[in-house]
Structure 1
Amino acid sequence: MNTPPRQIGEFTDWESRYRSDAIDKLPWYTPEPDGDLLATLSTRAIRNGHFLDLGTGPGTQAVWLARQGFRVTGTDLSQTALESARRYAHDAGVEVTWVIDDILNTSLAGPFDWIFDRGCFHVLPPERRADYVATLHRLLAPGGLLLLKTFHVQETLMEGGPYRFDTATIEQLFSSHFQPVESRPSRFEGTLEHQPVALFTLLEPRDPRP
């Protein structure tokens, strides 16, 4: 019997995924720093501070940031992912704080100067998006930035996968606690031959905090 195609927003258990697939074969795996992360650090002259790499997965982005001298915390739901990330950091000779954490029921206290979300928000249940927004507002330091990368509504070639967004929808979903600084189409680097169309958004927290 043929397996029906997976619908957008339908996902397997992340721990099972990391246990069953080789880390370097996962669609979102890249050993290189994310291009939008690189551009943001360069154009905004961000050279220090505490980064939260949210949904760190293989940990490649967190380790790269640690190599640049940032203090880094990497979180993920998957124990297997973090074990792999921990080995990767050890081999690279850098210190990263690894935390098993669910951002929708987080144990994190913050504050973080910068939060990088490369693929977490766009896999969350729609009914929990407001909880995510409020939590990140609490965790982000005044004057900090949320670097948010999601699938773009222009991504039409890939069947299933994460939820898709456009600039207006992101602005609306985050408007209670954040204001947009920058938004642009991009690509999700990884192991797929077709790099999915992405939306990269920079958001700064509104004050005062609750």
Structure 2
Amino acid sequence: METADRGVRSVEDLLRLLDGLFADGGDRWSEAAAGWWDDFYADRDRPVPFFADKPDESLAGWVADGTIPAGRALDLGCGPGRNAVHLAGLGFAVDAVDLSPAAVAWGRDRARAAGVDVDFRCADAFGGGISGPYDLVYDSGCFHHLPPHRRISYLALLERVLAPGGWFGLTCFAAGAMGSETPDAELYRRGRLEGGLAYSAEQLRHIFSSYSLVQLRRVRADPAYFGEEFLWTALYRKPVTGAGIPAVA
């Protein structure tokens, strides 16, 4: 008789089990999706808005007006490195992480062309290889590709690597404008993330309620920067003291 699989004995075991429910649904966040993203980034001349060598308008503004001072920064899901290169050029010490070797290679090319130093890494952000503390964690387009259960991993990562008093910046799909609004439970029934999940302002406030919200607004179109109005931009600050978010065991 075949022995049943009873390997779940930790939160991480459970999360990986749930990962498998999306394995055949074209998910774009796990290591298995690296090939999909490599194909996506293969043609650097494609007319994709975020292929432009420009930082997010919100991030550029927060740094320019002194809200976020230079320090150590982590760019999650960095893609071709446009935000990482911009930060490095302004004096930040930047680590940039992405699943796609093609994206990381492009980012390195951009850093060399700009004459800046960025530590690009091809890795799964949840694999444990990222160590803080960071004064800034920035995410433009990674969070909305995560399945619901990986929000747990995401919050645990922020709690682990973001310095007390550090900044967390986020750009993601806005409900009613872009992305799937399918309820979490139904996503598991369908086994698909439907190209990325949309969030309302209230949902973002709830998910990141352990952090102080500094700004939450829609991204502005600006020819000098990357900006698409179907996106939210949000800036949070981690409390200097407090209970924080429990680590994933």
Q: Structures share a fold, TM > 0.5?
A: yes
In structure 2, runs of 5+ residues without a counterpart are 1-24, 181-193
Match of 2:131 among 104, 109, 129: 109
Task: Tell me how many residue pairs correspond in the alignment.
Answer: 198
* Structure 1 residues 13-162: aligned runs within 5 Å: 13-19=33-39, 21-25=42-46, 26-156=48-178, 161-162=195-196
**Equivalents in 1 of 2:92, 2:135: separation in Å?**
10
| 8 Å Cα contact 2:218/2:229 also seen in 1 | no
Q: Which residue of 2 aligns with 1:205?
A: 238
How far 1:157 moved relative to its partner? Answer: 9.1
Q: TM-score scaled to structure 1, two decimals?
A: 0.83
Q: 1:10 to 1:164 in 2, by over 3 A?
A: farther
CA RMSD, 1 decimal: 2.7
How far 1:17 moved relative to its partner? Answer: 2.8
How far 1:104 moved relative to its partner? Answer: 2.5
Q: Which residue of 2 aligns with 1:178?
A: 211
Q: Deviations over 1:182-201 (max 9, x none)?
A: 111115889xxx94511111
**Higher Cα radius of gyration:** 2
**Equivalents in 2 of 1:72, 1:132: separation in Å?**
19
**Equivalents in 2 of 1:45, 1:178: separation in Å?**
16
For residue 200 of structure 1, what is the amino acid of its counterpart?
T
| 8 Å Cα contact 2:126/2:153 also seen in 1 | yes
In structure 1, runs of 5+ residues without a counterpart are 1-8
Q: TM-score scaled to structure 2, two decimals?
A: 0.71
